[in-house]
Structure 1
Amino acid sequence: MAAHRKPRQRSLGGTTARTAVTFALAGAATATAFDGTGHAEPQLTPTQVKARVDKLYQEAETATEKYNGAKEKAGTAQRRLNSLRDETARKQDKLNAARNALGSYATAQYREGGIDPAWQLALSSDPDRYLDGAAFAERAGDRQAGAVARVREQLREIEQLRGAARTELNALRSRQAELKRQKKTITRKLAEARDLLARLTPAQRAQVTGDGTAAGHASRSAPGARPDLEPTDSPAAPNSRAAAAIAYAYQKLGSPYVWGATGPDAFDCSGLVQAAYRSAGVSLPRTTYTQINAGRRVSRSELQPGDLVFFYSGISHVGLYIGNGQMIHAPNPSAPVRVAPIDQMPFAGATRVA
């Protein structure tokens, strides 16, 4: 019987192999074309870029306010920690002095040999003098007992201070970790926004960021601009403190936005209004979500020049109202401190602090 052999399979090689690879790649390309993967991101219109950049800036500003709050709390924790350490050092010095005094007393007792008082009386050449001395020693013993009690109390106080210092140190480290997280978020969001804006032409970027628009009052918002007078059509501020804050803000038109900055040459949004009112002698908290509670809440219809106006549901942006539906604010890294309408962002509330 003849043996049946399977036909030997030919390996792919040369032109045949290259043809197979070509077909395989072509098939993969076709498949990715249908499922939508493997393609470069489509070119965005300026309107789409603006929407995405605005969202990134809002998210970065939310992180900035959290950063500002964490930085403020970290500073408070550091000051408390320093104070606790100073107080602990002072009490430790007092404790060391008290221990030295007790050590001297113990050394004196040892040198006297600890002889029983009855034998000391019997052997004394002057019993009356001895009795007077014994009475003094008893009182001294009472004082030493009191000193021992005070040393024990000082030890307890020092241990309590050290426990409080450990708590503050843990709080400080937690705030520092939060600072790093928020800084990382801010940096990432701003980098994404810069990348999107870099894809546009200069004219498109100006359109997206608002430069050159009448609504943004760009003629007074160009970098380096420092107008000396307020526009004559602005309504008068209701009091001297509000007027001083507004005057300060006008002088800062054109200053760059820098997250975490409170002036005098760069600002973020809450840093600008804080600096403006600081110049007027009014102390405001550092963050938007604390500034909104710093004064009396007012409705939009009640707005007066000098009021703080807040935006977005998370209270992540603030401006200084100047009247006629306008405010001065520090918008974002692509736009300097400028005048803008308050209706360009979702209005969240207002506070009167002066």
Structure 2
Amino acid sequence: MRPASFSRRLSWAVALTGALIVTATPAHADPEPSTKELRTQAYKLADQLEQLTEQYNGLKVKLQQSQRAAKVATDNAKRQEKSLEGVREKVGSLAATSYMQGGADPTVSFVASQDPQRLLDQAATLHFFATQDGTRVQGLMQAMQAAQRARKSAEERAKQVSQLRAQLETQREKVTSLYEKVRGRLVKKDPTQLAKLPVVGSGKAAQALRYAMSKIGRPYVWGAAGPSTFDCSGLTMWAYKQVGISLPHYTGSQWNAGTHISRSQLQPGDLVFFHGDLHHMGMYVGDGKFLHAPQTGDVVKISPLAGRPYAGAVRVA
């Protein structure tokens, strides 16, 4: 496929995402939108963010494929160049031999030779291989040129996908920022709305949080790990198990199950821990809130991080 054609087939992503951002911009006609209006904007932005994420993931796959194709084409071009160089040396050696043997008069050489037939056979053999290798050189040169064209095309394709992926990531970040602003305004008006909003993102952490959010209202039971009742580490263990990640049923072990991150780096699905002995934990939801199974007599719910003895956070996926 020619690079220009490939670029046209991929450019739809950037064009579409540009349109999404335009339609996603919150209206400024009403400086104080209602809870319903903010919720509608949040859902639209979340839906558009999912579209952008899937397009981004698709381009990520295409980039990997293009990079593999470029490597294969480069390796093929190198092999063709090596083969051509070897035949060139062989042809040069044959030409030198033919020239040296042709220095004497062929008739004299034939008469003076003690083995005329061997001389004839040798001359014919040299001529045959010189002719054959000359043809082979032409074929190898054509193959090498084709391999170099394929390499250049594959590298250009990978470059195009990489550029589109970068543009799409920039646009995805813009929509994410808009979503977080709208979500923040909505939660400020009505904190209960946070539990009703969709969890954005396609990573395993976001997927695990979606599973955990489905358990809001389920009772806390000491030592329970689902699917109907939970304690704090049992809830996070169960949620991550649903996306193929095994966590131990113990806050101290989960503290060491991933990468420690700062509070400013928190993303939905990250594990958050409290108290010096890490005896309580939950999953970050966003907007300074986290999901957890608090204590006996309570239920799985969303609470603010503020005012709690925050100990740190861990990113599992």
Partner of 2:215: 217
Secondary structure of the residue aligned to 1:194 is helix
2:68 pairs with one of 62, 69, 79: 79
Residue 79 of structure 1 and its aligned partner are, at CA, apart by 0.5
Return closer, same or farther for 1:179/1:215 CA change in 2, 3 Å cut-off.
closer
**Residue 227 of structure 2 is aligned to residue 231 of structure 1:** yes
Residues 60 and 190 in structure 1, CA contact (< 8 A), matched pair in contact too:
yes
C-alpha deviations, 1:221-240, integer Å up to 9, x for none? xxxxxx9744269xxxxxxx
Partner of 1:239: none
Residues 50 and 208 in structure 1, CA contact (< 8 A), matched pair in contact too:
no
Q: Distance in 2 between matches of 1:80 and 1:121?
A: 57
Secondary structure of the residue aligned to 1:218 is coil
Return closer, same or farther for 1:204/1:193 CA change in 2, 3 Å cut-off.
same
Residues 99 and 151 in structure 1, CA contact (< 8 A), matched pair in contact too:
yes
1:249 pairs with one of 236, 243, 246: 243
Q: Distance in 2 between matches of 1:156 and 1:59?
A: 49
From the CA coordinates, give the structure whose radius of gyration is larger: 1
Q: Which has the higher helix share?
A: 2
Q: Distance in 1 between matches of 2:81 and 2:216?
A: 62
**Residue 47 of structure 2 is aligned to residue 58 of structure 1:** yes
Partner of 1:277: none
Residue 68 of structure 1 and its aligned partner are, at CA, apart by 0.5
Specify every segment of 5 or more residues in structure 2 that has no aligned partner in the other structure, as ranges: 1-27, 198-211, 230-238, 248-257, 260-268, 270-284, 293-317
1:30-69 to structure 2, matched below 5 A, reads 41-69=30-58
Q: Distance in 2 between matches of 1:194 and 1:246?
A: 24
1:278-317 to structure 2, matched below 5 A, reads none
TM-score of the two chains, using structure 1 as the length reference: 0.49
Q: Distance in 2 between matches of 1:248 and 1:80?
A: 35
Partner of 1:132: 118
What amino acid does structure 2 have at the position aligned with 1:248? Answer: Q
Residues 186 and 193 in structure 2, CA contact (< 8 A), matched pair in contact too:
no
Partner of 1:154: 140
Identity %: 19
Residue 173 of structure 1 and its aligned partner are, at CA, apart by 2.2
Q: Distance in 2 between matches of 1:215 and 1:194?
A: 18
Q: Distance in 2 between matches of 1:85 and 1:91?
A: 10
Q: Distance in 1 between matches of 2:134 and 2:243?
A: 63
Residue 202 of structure 1 and its aligned partner are, at CA, apart by 4.8
Partner of 2:130: 144
Return closer, same or farther for 1:215/1:98 CA change in 2, 3 Å cut-off.
closer
**Residue 149 of structure 2 is aligned to residue 163 of structure 1:** yes
TM-score of the two chains, using structure 2 as the length reference: 0.54
Q: Which moved more, 1:128-137 or 1:108-117?
A: 108-117
Q: Distance in 2 between matches of 1:65 and 1:337?
A: 26
What is the root-mean-square deviation in Å for CA atoms of aligned residues? 4.1
